[in-house]
Chain A
Amino acid sequence: MRIRTVEISVGVFMLAGILALLVLALQVSGLSFDNNRKSYSLYAKFDNIGSLATRSKVTIAGVTVGRVTEISLDNDEHMGLIKMEIDTDVSNLTTDTAASILTNGLLGEKYIGLSTGADEEYLVDGDVIEDTQSALVLEELIGQFLFSEVNAEE
């Protein structure tokens, strides 16, 4: 009888551990089972990506449609080259779609917001988004502000 209690409690223990793992996986880190969802890649070049990082989200109208997967430097033009994975469900991004780097809240992380245009053709896997708006960098903002102030005075 004693041995049975031991075995049962060890079984419960291991079950609890696995359950905790599942909780951590699904609830805490949002691992989803449709990770096998198909996606296609798009590229975008920015003058300044700010603090954008891999795994930052890509949104349209605030809805997450993809993730940033790679950040590299385009050595010819010295611009930041972002590679994004977009859900294949979202396949009607026009070729004049704009990508801007936006901030989530006051302290928040950077993410990419896409807004579609009016072209008739759509972006496909491997296309590059031309119209980009870099991240707002505080020093440049201040610089612009001061510059415009000085100009106004003249």
Chain B
Amino acid sequence: MISFFRRLGQTGLSILEVFGRSGLILVQSLIVWPSIRGGVPLLIQQLYSIGVLSLVIVVVSGLFIGMVLGLQGYTILVAYGSESAIGQMVALTLVRELGPVVTGLLFAGRAGSALAAEIGLMKATEQLSGMEMIGVDPLHRIVAPRLLAGFISLPLLAMIFSAVGVWGGYLVGVDWLGVYEGSYWGNMQDAVSFSDDVVNGIIKSVVFGFVVSWIAVFQGYDCMPTSEGIGQATTKTVVYSSLAVLGVDFILTAVMFGSF
């Protein structure tokens, strides 16, 4: 009995420790960031490997999800004679929820795991140590650009996802299933509010970008410097950031859209 409480306490303490370490890393990376030499080229390099290389999966997924939404939505709405509402259904679903969330999950899987593995590998091959010995803080040179690239990339990717998805819905709804083009866009424009829906979606994706990048970077930096350790760090990144995205999404949705 006592040992159960002991273990519970130990787990609790070690979780707190993890949060503490990760918080420290976040603060230390970002706090003096502008002063590193050649900061912008590093950021651009990271924007490329994190953002640009995720474009393909985001665009393809967005297109397919938009098309599926169009298809499924049509099937349901046509039973009520309201198929002209397909535009707003696709748009609202994407802009408010699926855009930020699915992009967040895809990002966690593709970019998050790559980040964690990369940093973990640098740790295991003593590159981080070496950098420190030369007098360069790896938190500034390696971690900070990656964090910032994540914060910037995810919102952009989420917007691209939503835009492509809406177009996918258009392809299915208007071109294929024959919904009147005017009502697709017209109803959509009536129903979607920029400040309430689009902006909230963007806020969500910014928060997700923050969460996923932070978790990925921390897992890589904190991992055991062995091949097992790197593998675990990658897995944990994907699992934790996916769960975090979904959890934070619920909270944000409740706050943004829940108050009637």
B156, A17: Cβ atoms under 8 Å?
A: yes
**0/1 string, A20-32, CB within 8 A of B gives 1:** 1101110111110
A14 interface residue, CB < 8 Å from B? yes
A143 interface residue, CB < 8 Å from B? no
Instruction: Tell me the minimal C-beta distance from B155 to chain A in angstroms.
Output: 7
A129 vs B132: C-alpha distance when bound (angstroms) = 74
A18 vs B164: C-alpha distance when bound (angstroms) = 13
Interface hits, A1-20 → B, CB 8 Å = 3, 6-7, 9-10, 12-14, 16-20
A20 vs B198: C-alpha distance when bound (angstroms) = 11
A20, B197: Cβ atoms under 8 Å?
A: no
B45 interface residue, CB < 8 Å from A? yes
B157 interface residue, CB < 8 Å from A? yes
B101 interface residue, CB < 8 Å from A? no
> Which of the candidate stretches A39-47, A90-98, A103-111 sits at the interface with the other chain?
A103-111
Instruction: Tell me the minimal C-beta distance from A93 to chain B in angstroms.
Output: 22
**0/1 string, B76-90, CB within 8 A of A gives 1:** 000011101100000
Q: Which residues of A contact B155 (CB under 8 A)?
A: 17
Instruction: Tell me the minimal C-beta distance from B201 to chain A in angstroms.
Output: 8
Take A17-B156, A21-B159, A57-B190 as given contacts and tell me if A28 and B95 are in contact as well, using a CB distance cutoff of 8 Å: yes
Q: Which residues of A contact B85 (CB under 8 A)?
A: 105, 107-108
Take A10-B44, A10-B48 as given contacts and tell me if A30 and B156 are in contact as well, using a CB distance cutoff of 8 Å: no
Q: Which residues of B contact A107 (CB under 8 A)?
A: 80, 82, 85
A78 interface residue, CB < 8 Å from B? no
**Which applies to chain A's interface (DSSP): helix, strand, loop or mixed?**
helix
A7 vs B42: C-alpha distance when bound (angstroms) = 11
Interface residues on A, range: 20 to 34
A107 vs B187: C-alpha distance when bound (angstroms) = 13
Take A25-B198, A29-B197, A107-B82 as given contacts and tell me if A20 and B91 are in contact as well, using a CB distance cutoff of 8 Å: no
A20, B159: Cβ atoms under 8 Å?
A: yes
B156, A13: Cβ atoms under 8 Å?
A: yes
A19 vs B160: C-alpha distance when bound (angstroms) = 8
Q: Which residues of A contact B162 (CB under 8 A)?
A: 20, 24, 28
B185 interface residue, CB < 8 Å from A? yes
**0/1 string, A91-128, CB within 8 A of B gives 1:** 00000000000000111100000000000000000000
Q: Which residues of B contact A18 (CB under 8 A)?
A: 156
A13, B55: Cβ atoms under 8 Å?
A: yes
A10, B194: Cβ atoms under 8 Å?
A: no
Instruction: Tell me the minimal C-beta distance from A29 to chain B in angstroms.
Output: 4
Q: Which of B47, B81, B157 contacts A105 (CB 8 A)?
A: B81
Q: Which of A6, A28, A31 contacts B91 (CB 8 A)?
A: A28
Known pairs A12-B52, A17-B159. 7 more at Cβ < 8 A?
A: A10-B48, A24-B95, A29-B189, A31-B194, A105-B82, A107-B82, A108-B85
29 pairs from A and B in contact (CB 8 Å cutoff): A3-B41, A6-B48, A9-B48, A9-B52, A10-B47, A10-B52, A13-B48, A14-B47, A14-B156, A16-B156, A17-B160, A20-B156, A21-B159, A24-B95, A24-B162, A24-B194, A24-B198, A27-B166, A28-B188, A28-B192, A29-B189, A29-B192, A29-B197, A30-B190, A30-B192, A31-B194, A106-B82, A107-B80, A108-B85
Residues of B within 8 A of A (CB): 41, 44-45, 47-48, 51-52, 55, 80-82, 84-85, 91, 95, 153, 155-157, 159-160, 162-164, 166, 185, 188-190, 192-194, 197-198, 202
Residues of A within 8 A of B (CB): 3, 6-7, 9-10, 12-14, 16-21, 23-25, 27-31, 55, 57, 105-108
